[in-house]
Each structure stands twice: as C-alpha cells, then as structure tokens.
Amino acid sequence: MSNEKVPDFLAVYEQYQSLKPGPRAELRRAVKPDDLLEIAAFYRLLQGHKADARMQRLAYCLPVIKHQAGGNGLGQALAKANISEKRLFMVLRSEAPNDFIQLRRLLKMAEPTLDWLKAAPTLYYWGSTSKRQLLEDYFYYQNHSAV
C-alpha cells in the first residue's frame, strides 16, 4: 500500500471532460464497472494508473456527476436531491458490484452537482467505511437543513 499512487482526482475529472462525445457515451453506457475493461475510453482516463477496481469506480460514476468547486459532498448531494432513505439503505446493504451499480443509478436520478474532490475519495476507497461516511453525511445534512 505504500507504493500506491493515488490519482489526482481533479485531473481525472478534467481528462474525462476533455474526451470527445463518442468516448464519453461509451463510458456512460457501461452497465457495470467491469464493463469498462473493454472500453478504450476507460484506458484514456487512467493517466498512468492501473486498470483496477478503484479506477473503475471513478470512471463508472464520472458520466453522472458534475463538478463544482466548493460544492456538496456525495452524502449531502443525495440528501439535497431528496433521495429516499430506503433507496440509500438499499445501496449500502448491497454487496459488490450491485452496491455500486445502484449508487450510480441514484446519482443518475439525482443529477448532482458536487465537489468532485470531496466525492472522488468516497468512490475510490469504496467499502464499509465509505458507505458509513456517506450515510452519516446524508443524515447530517438532512437533520441540519430541517432546523
């Protein structure tokens, strides 16, 4: 893990934005993260990183996210989009890869504008800790916006 090269998340987002419409559409049409392994545009995003599950998760969600510096994190964006608790719990209780497929569906439905630099680490390090943090952020925002 000490040799792990964490990507520059903003550079990955900008690389995605610089793709032509055709390659972006190819990424958008991926049904599950593993489908990206057969799409040339995915490899254009890697920028020297391995084609591992972490990079797959980033590339899988990029087509449904818009970046705004200083914007919301992932949990807050889902809460603002009025995504129901029930739908969020379905994502968090699911196992890979279904959890991530369902998360992308929520993101597609919510069409969030969020701070990619806040959201990307959650996606990159996706696991039980990330899921719990997403849930905590979701409820924290809901509780504080109702006050």
Of the pLDDT bands very low, low, confident and very high (cuts 50, 70, 90), residue 1 is very low
Residue 2 covered by a domain: no
DSSP 13-75: HHHHHHS-HHHHHHHHT-SSGGGGGG-HHHHHH-TT----HHHHHHHHHGGG-EEEEEEE-HH
pLDDT at 2 over 70: no
Q: Does residue 93 belong to any structural domain of this protein?
A: yes
pLDDT at 4: 67
Q: At residue 147, does pLDDT exceed 60?
A: no
3-state secondary structure of 113: strand
Expressed as residue numbers, the domain containing 48 is 9-145
Domain CATH number, residue 24 = 1.10.520.40
Q: Could you read off the pLDDT of 85-141 as tens digits, one per residue? A: 999 999 999 999 999 999 999 999 999 999 999 999 999 999 999 999 999 999 999
pLDDT in tens, 49-71: 899 999 999 999 999 999 999 99
Residue 4 lies in a domain: no
- Domains identified in the chain, total number: 1
Q: What is the pLDDT of residue 58?
A: 96
10 Å Cβ neighbour count for 83?
19
Question: Which pLDDT band, with edges at 50, 70 and 90, does 143 fall under?
Answer: confident
